[in-house]
Amino acid sequence: MAAEHATHASFALAPATRAGAVLAGGAHITHREFTDFVVDGRPLLFRLADLDAVSPLASDVPPAIFAEQVRALLLEAPAPLPGGRYLVYGCPECADLACGAVTAVIERDGEDYVWRDFAWQTDDHPDMRLNGYHGLGPFRFRGDGYRRALTGLLEHAPDAREDGRRVLLIGARAAVLNKLAAALRSIGIGADITHDPSGIPPEELRAYGAVAFGRAVGEERRNEARAAFRRAG
């Protein structure tokens, strides 16, 4: 395995922003705030030339889903993609794998965490020959520093139960929901976007003062979401 020969790299996290804009014709580029990965003192995103993407550690997802992303990077949850692959950067507009994403194999080697075999991926199985980032990695991180950085995100994350001014937006991360979320945040109301609220704990669901559905959400999914809120009490 190539990772066997990798020397240790430093691992840190830093706040990052994908700036929003209004384009000619009225199209919107969504403003996104997220936490980026810093490897050997340099944001990993900067090593990927001209890539418009955000990490899975975005500030506008429900706290439970954010925590799930952190646990995945700590390998405390199963890999979301075949072959032990994890999403490193995804589409900032819709977060759909079909739009393209940077993924990597993340694994433990003793106490270390290793990120290797970076690739551009649009379905379950990347073509490493055509779409692999062959000059990127592997990176070997010391386990104590890696865990400390990621668990620190959970320790300092805002508690949704303490914030009564929050709205949950359910549906695809499309322009309409993104613009609505931005408008709500501009007036001091928290807004999170999710495809499916079933993975959100009841105590977090109870913290939302309102729910809004995207136009494409069908009646069956709306009823499922309403049922989840009724169960939460």
- What is the DSSP secondary structure assignment for residue 81, as one 8-state letter? B
76-115 residue pLDDT tens: 989 999 999 999 999 887 778 888 999 999 999 999 999 9
For residue range 122-165, list pLDDT tens digits in order: 999 999 999 999 999 899 999 999 999 999 998 865 554 445 57
Q: What is the sign of the dihedral through the CA atoms of 79, 82, 86 and 87?
A: negative
Q: What is the pLDDT of residue 195?
A: 78
Write down the residue that tokens 């551009």 correspond to: 120
CA–CA dist 61, 177 (Å, integer)? 12
Percent of the chain scored above 90 by pLDDT? 42
* DSSP string covering 86-135: EEEEB-TTT--GGG-EEEEEEEEETTEEEEEEEEEESSSS--HHHHB-TT
* E-strand stretches of the chain: 8-9, 11-18, 21-22, 28-29, 32-39, 42-43, 85-89, 101-109, 112-121, 139-141, 166-170, 190-194, 210-213
Tokens 């995100």 locate to 153
- Whether the full predicted model's pTM is greater than 0.85, yes or no, is no
41 phi and psi angles, rounded to 5 deg: 80, 5
pLDDT per residue as tens digits for the range 31-48:
788 999 999 999 999 999
Tell me the C-alpha distance between 189 and 183, whole Å: 9
Q: What is the pLDDT of residue 145?
A: 97
Cα 152 to Cα 88: distance, rounded to the nearest angstrom: 19
